[in-house]
Amino acid sequence: MSASADVKILTPPDIAERKGGAPIACLTAYTTPMARLVDRHCDVVLVGDSVGMVLHGLPSTLGVTLDMMIMHGKAVRRGVERALMVVDMPFGSYEESPEQAFRNAARLMAETGCAAVKLEGGETMAGTIRFLTGRGIPVMAHVGLTPQSVNVFGGYKVQGRGGDADRILRDAVAATEAGAFSVVLEKIAEPLARAITGKIAVPTIGIGASAACDGQILVVDDMLGQFSEFRPKFVKRYAELGNEADAAIAAYAEEVRERRFPGPEHVFGDVPKTVRRGTAA
């Protein structure tokens, strides 16, 4: 969707300049209708690889492919007019080498129309971040709990409570120095998130981190309560759409079985007084 002439489209430099300023509101989106809703209110729309778990029923993000991200990225692009659109680079699409990362990031940007990509990693990915940003690809970094490394962490555990705090701080600093315009801090101890936010020169985007971060992000389906059984501590439910949808679907099925739907107002033409099986009398 092309933006109207009087609508300013946010860019990576715009977000970078928000360091220490007005908090940055971010949410994920994977479809055109949801992107339109998020775009009205948020500064950043992230096409996250969480789409694999949220929409495709995968057990983790590891099975997400580049083609999946492109498909959902195209859908989100049609719904975004003003927010900065960022697309996740999926597992296996950038870790091998900076050259591999560039090829796949360039394809993501060219085919989806996004303005930036997000990748996980700090010190180990600093060379790749520098390679990409030096060639015109803005990068949002992601440190702390990095879901693509869930097997290394042994699960989705809080990070930064012990000896790994120094490593996470170094990761954030390395990503910043390599040229990332912002850094996502996921599921790390609050004091560490606060310290990182105060130390690095670009905005931090928290998810299970700290209110002191320069911005916040959540998976939109989590904060809307689409899944009643999934309630991580760091998610605030702003609605319970899953329960409402369940009740609505149950009501629909009941009315169909009792022949109360469709009613006269839902069909076309006169409704015959008597209806035999297959023919009207």
Q: Indicate the annotated binding residues for Mg(2+).
A: 49, 88, 120
Catalytic annotation, pick one of 186, 244, 254, 265: 186
Q: Please tell me the distance from the alpha carbon of residue 113 to that of residue 234, in angstroms, as a whole number.
A: 31
Are the beta carbons of 159 and 188 closer than 8 angstroms?
A: yes
Is 240 in the active site? no
Closest C-alpha among 83, 80, 124, 78 to residue 101: 124
Residue stretches of the annotated binding site: 49-50, 88, 118, 120
Catalytic sites, residue numbers: 186
